[in-house]
Chains A and B, each alone.
Chain A
């Protein structure tokens, strides 16, 4: 289980990284950030990049700041940065709560937020956060910069809208309203394992009724996404068991479940029903 040979490139600036990427991407070149997902699959030789563009020394990619109502997360920001609240209000708390569910402490020391998005594992907590909160993902190449909405970014199991010569330089998460509520719940077999289903819920209360609900489900489908049917059942309802159960049922019905030899579609729906309701209960 030793990785296949590769050439390592160590750019110091984004421009340099983009120039190298433009050159090596067509020759099986990939970006190396935290490496906590890429290196294992290289060890199994399921990935055999001929070139790795190691962005760990690129200046400026470690930016983590609130700018224009958004939390800007640079490509070198590690999971562990979120162990403490990084933004005022509910968003910082949400991220600090969710991060504890990502793998294990030593993995969080190295793995990066943006790397998780680029890797696009269906079970990734950060992908679920990005999809639910409507993150903007900034992709740069030598040709220019484009901003991709999370809903367009995730395109399937480990598949994204990123072109091979593009570097995901940062992600931007909209701040949550000061009175926003959030809830998160994840189901896995062992502590720190990939989620078999996870849900993130946010909403505000206006006159005691749920407003602007967002219900995201991850780990259950090929990519995380908001479940409109569940959100529709919640809007205008008073928070509580009846509303939460109805939303959970709607989500369980709405998904196109991932199945494997152990996990039937029915079971995945059972899990979605449970995690959505529990995320909502956690929010209340």
Chain B
């Protein structure tokens, strides 16, 4: 069951052990929200119109249909930022007189089964007076554009601006200015399990248990209890097995509020399982951005200043809890990426439109800004007539700690080393030779690189800098050894596929000398786990892992203290290994199970020197740490059809200490696949009326096994002081680098044609359109 040891010098950390999560999942014993039976099923009537006034809602007599009129005492969702000219806008739980996007919930229909609820929904008639919708962010910015929300003049509800001192002078003195005008189209995270919720009333305690497929169970509890106006302690939120999230399941679904409201009102159980069409049209979107980026270089190709303009289409409402600032403000803060640039100006706007609300999706903005920045580096290299790798060499950060132009502190990393590693392993000179030969035969191969930094595991100060009313960051872990010697770690994070039950067990196992298989990690239940923020932003292994290590060290200290007492040895001489405490250099030993018994049942022996019990708490709130990587894509572009085939993909990455290499590699694989989908296939398409045209998985195209090439991985482990486990986060990196690498590779392949593809996804249609235009111009 074990694979190679990574040589970290410890017993469990660094080993590719099998996941503790898997036996249930491969035998059909996983427990997902939609598996629960319910007395009542809910189907939502959704707006078929992007913008308009609700004139009339008529339901069949006697039918159980809930509308905004029934929810008068329920507060709207109104997330808050205290900075960046943020204009708070309210999202009613059910549309209240006005609809603002296709898919918005207007009414909830209740019946005994999903099919009957849908039958009922079909019979609810909604009359809407259409008004002109705003679909594209640039149209919403135009003078005289109608307002999506009355309180948001100009439709901009968040705006960040930054300009470093001396920027203008440096800009004027630059040798060359290079510009990229880029477009990222809209995407949907598309977890294989769509959203689902199940609210049940317990007559004995008068509490509600709300089971839902979320990444943030405690935040769901806070939000729903606040909106409905009852104590959080009367609501238990459970995130059981969660079928992927990728950010989409961070945000509060208005539908969930309706379910809990129904369960409280009718003292029964109510469930909703989102169908795929609902998920595609209304389950949160992302990445819909226009970015203009200019780089000023000195005569040596050194980047001296960056000037960025970001327009993010954030949809009709601001998402809870991150707010719609998440995309534009992340773009603004992290645009310079892995490059040393001292002067920076940026204007980043979040623009409200009549489209599905934007929410975080794996990488949040960084897949877009990395794509734009790496296009800039390629174009600059061309302008200077030098190899793009060489241009990057002149600009990558290599002194640490490094404070960026936006004030971010970069800890130790390996930007240059990972790029050189990638160049070496991909065999760049051999590829160039092959490319030349292929071109002579009409075959168009290309190679694309993307270097990037990935800010991970950041605590509350980083979120506070955004002015968030709800400021996430820290994590708490409660670690207990029960009287029988079994270990339970209760965590505030809420993993859903990341293997945290295994990796945290590995960390604990090393500290207290027992096998990971004996350690249970409990999460996703607000009654059993301490308050915490959940799993997102490549944070759980760093922050929850750090809190775990802190708690485990305390348990270790206490076990040693008890052992020292019982073995009558000096604490410094005691080692914990293989389930026992031993006095070094002797055969005196006592099992940890026995120590645990003593800790609970023989406390009188300690004469008050040791507190009873074996439970310790660790809390960790780190500054944040930057992972980094260089991605390489080798592609072939079929210039007749515009189809791109990825021949090979290579990642050289550094996420600090790797706790479980198998799990780490899996995270990178999955991210890269989503990035490839981002670059080539996936696009939510609206027509000009705001109707959505990609509402099936035959129209919205996540990649299949066929579209994903073999992915070759190489690792460097830079041990940072910014993370007490030395681990950096890596959940998002794959998705951040891959789009840029693929788009650069396409452009490299097409370099003989003089075209520049600066739009994602680079669909065959777009590639052909660019080539046709070039053919006509020639």
Answer yes or no: B408 CB below 8 A from chain A CBs.
no
- Near B by CB (< 8 A), chain A positions 160-197 give 187, 189-194
Instruction: Produce 1/0 per residue, A254-284, CB < 8 A to B.
Output: 0000000111101100110110000000000
- Interchain CA distance A97-B707 in the complex, whole Å: 21
Residues of A within 8 A of B643 (CB): 187
Residues of A within 8 A of B703 (CB): 190
Say whether B693 contacts A261, CB under 8 Å. yes
Closest chain A residue, CB of each to CB of B688: A261
Say whether B640 contacts A274, CB under 8 Å. yes
- Interchain CA distance A281-B398 in the complex, whole Å: 53
* Among B118, B764, B772, contact of A189 (Cβ-Cβ < 8 Å): B764
Given A270-B640, A271-B641, are A44 and B698 also a contact pair (CB < 8 Å)? no
- Interchain CA distance A252-B115 in the complex, whole Å: 46
Answer yes or no: A146 CB below 8 A from chain B CBs.
no
Answer yes or no: A1 CB below 8 A from chain B CBs.
yes
Residues of B within 8 A of A44 (CB): 277, 696
Instruction: Produce 1/0 per residue, B115-140, CB < 8 A to A.
Output: 10011001000000000000000000
B774 to chain A, nearest CB (A): 14
Answer yes or no: A143 CB below 8 A from chain B CBs.
no
A174 to chain B, nearest CB (A): 31
Say whether A262 contacts B640, CB under 8 Å. no
Instruction: Produce 1/0 per residue, B740-763, CB < 8 A to A.
Output: 000000000000000000000001
Say whether B641 contacts A190, CB under 8 Å. no
- Interchain CA distance A4-B117 in the complex, whole Å: 11
Say whether A189 contacts B277, CB under 8 Å. no
Residues of B within 8 A of A189 (CB): 681, 701, 763-764
Interface bracket on A: 20 to 34
Say whether B118 contacts A2, CB under 8 Å. yes
- Interchain CA distance A193-B707 in the complex, whole Å: 12
B33 to chain A, nearest CB (A): 17
Residues of B within 8 A of A1 (CB): 118, 275-277
B643 to chain A, nearest CB (A): 7
Residues of A within 8 A of B277 (CB): 1, 44
Residues of A within 8 A of B696 (CB): 44
* Among A2, A4, A191, contact of B114 (Cβ-Cβ < 8 Å): A2
Say whether A2 contacts B115, CB under 8 Å. yes
- Near B by CB (< 8 A), chain A positions 217-269 give 261-264, 266-267
Given A4-B119, A193-B701, A270-B640, are A262 and B685 also a contact pair (CB < 8 Å)? yes
Answer yes or no: A5 CB below 8 A from chain B CBs.
yes
- Interchain CA distance A267-B705 in the complex, whole Å: 26
* Among B115, B706, B707, B768, contact of A270 (Cβ-Cβ < 8 Å): B768
Answer yes or no: A45 CB below 8 A from chain B CBs.
yes
Instruction: Produce 1/0 per residue, B94-131, CB < 8 A to A.
Output: 00000000000000000000110011001000000000
Answer yes or no: B602 CB below 8 A from chain A CBs.
no
Residues of A within 8 A of B638 (CB): 274
Residues of A within 8 A of B642 (CB): 267, 270
Chain A contact residues: helix, strand, loop or mixed: loop
Say whether A273 contacts B640, CB under 8 Å. yes
Residues of B within 8 A of A192 (CB): 704, 706
- Interchain CA distance A187-B764 in the complex, whole Å: 10
Answer yes or no: B769 CB below 8 A from chain A CBs.
yes
Residues of A within 8 A of B85 (CB): none
Residues of A within 8 A of B275 (CB): 1
Closest chain A residue, CB of each to CB of B772: A266
Say whether A190 contacts B701, CB under 8 Å. yes
Answer yes or no: B765 CB below 8 A from chain A CBs.
yes
- Interchain CA distance A4-B764 in the complex, whole Å: 37
Answer yes or no: B424 CB below 8 A from chain A CBs.
no
Answer yes or no: B687 CB below 8 A from chain A CBs.
yes
Closest chain A residue, CB of each to CB of B686: A261
Residues of B within 8 A of A263 (CB): 765
Instruction: Produce 1/0 per residue, B689-719, CB < 8 A to A.
Output: 0000100101001011111000000000000
- Interchain CA distance A159-B414 in the complex, whole Å: 61
Closest chain B residue, CB of each to CB of A103: B698
Residues of B within 8 A of A3 (CB): 115
- Interchain CA distance A2-B277 in the complex, whole Å: 12
Say whether B769 contacts A267, CB under 8 Å. yes
Say whether B707 contacts A190, CB under 8 Å. yes
Say whether A187 contacts B685, CB under 8 Å. no
Residues of B within 8 A of A271 (CB): 641
- Interchain CA distance A194-B118 in the complex, whole Å: 29
Closest chain A residue, CB of each to CB of B706: A191
Closest chain A residue, CB of each to CB of B680: A189
- Near B by CB (< 8 A), chain A positions 187-216 give 187, 189-194
- Interchain CA distance A239-B57 in the complex, whole Å: 66
Say whether B768 contacts A190, CB under 8 Å. no
- Interchain CA distance A58-B518 in the complex, whole Å: 58
- Interchain CA distance A257-B18 in the complex, whole Å: 53
- Interchain CA distance A267-B766 in the complex, whole Å: 9
Residues of A within 8 A of B276 (CB): 1
Closest chain A residue, CB of each to CB of B113: A2
- Interchain CA distance A261-B684 in the complex, whole Å: 12
- Interchain CA distance A264-B122 in the complex, whole Å: 35
Instruction: Produce 1/0 per residue, B69-101, CB < 8 A to A.
Output: 000000000000000000000000000000000
For the complex with contacts A190-B707, A270-B772, 13 further pairs of A-B residues with Cβ separation under 8 Å are A4-B122, A44-B277, A187-B643, A189-B681, A189-B701, A191-B706, A192-B706, A261-B693, A262-B765, A263-B765, A267-B765, A267-B768, A274-B638
* Pairs A–B under 8 Å by Cβ, sample size 5: A44-B696, A192-B706, A193-B698, A262-B685, A273-B640
B interface vs A, CB < 8 Å?
Answer: 114-115, 118-119, 122, 275-277, 638, 640-643, 681, 685, 687, 693, 696, 698, 701, 703-707, 763-765, 768-769, 772
Please give me the 5 A-B residue pairs with the lowest Cβ-Cβ distance, nearest first: A191-B706, A2-B115, A1-B275, A274-B640, A274-B641
